Amino acid sequence: MAVNMEMNILIVDDYKTMLRIIENLLKQLGFKNVIQAIDGTTALSVLRERPIGLVISDWNMAPMTGLDLLKEVRADRALKSLPFIMVTAESKTENIIAAKTAGVNNYIVKPFNAETLKQKIVAVIGAF
């Protein structure tokens, strides 16, 4: 099935510059609708109010981390199947295992490039 380039993509990061970088890279990849959230709590509110096709989230945020956000998403009947990619500087083996155990679809370590971002999105939602 073709990827809907008009779908809403929610990006979550407490660094505004990183939100801007990811949004720009997504737009260059052809995605039209990118929504930003500055932390996990805000992201969860957005997820419960608007239809979202993909979440790309940082891990290290307060008050709700990306891992806690992922767990909330997987525990919510309406959201549990939502594609979720973690983009984070946390690069210890136990982090990757914890994220996988919590149900992450893919994991990108910062700093990353546009090609890696595209590869992981393709792996999660299909080629576009």
Partner 1 sequence: MAIQANSIAADSNAQAALAFLPELKRLAQFIQNAKQDIAAIHPKAINTDHIPLANDELDAVVGATEAATNKIMDVCDDITRIAEAVPPEFKERLINCTTQIYEACNFQDITGQRITKVVAVLKHIDGKVGALLAALGDELGPVKIADNAMTPPTAPDSAAGLLNGPQLPGQGVDQDHIDRLLEKH
Q: Could you give the C-alpha distances from 32 to 27, 61, 88, in angstroms and in order?
A: 6, 26, 23
Choice between 4 and 91, CB closer to partner 1: 91
Strand ordering across the sheet containing 106-109: 33-37, 8-12, 54-57, 84-88, 106-109
Site string for partner 1, 47-86 (x = CB under 8 A): ------------xx-xxxx-xx------------------
Q: Which parts of 12-41 interact with partner 1 (CB under 8 A)?
A: 13, 15-18, 20-21, 24-25, 28
CA 58 from centroid of its chain's CA atoms: 7
| CA distance linking residue 112 with residue 13, whole number of Å | 15
| CA distance linking residue 41 with residue 33, whole number of Å | 21
CA 72 from centroid of its chain's CA atoms: 14
Q: According to the binding rule CB under 8 A, does residue 91 interact with partner 1?
A: yes
Q: Which of 7, 35, 112, 124 binds partner 1 (CB under 8 A)?
A: 112
Q: Name the minimum Å distance from CB 57 to partner 1.
A: 13
Applying CB under 8 A, which residues contact partner 1? 13, 15-18, 20-21, 24-25, 28, 59-60, 62-65, 67-68, 89-98, 100-101, 106-114, 116
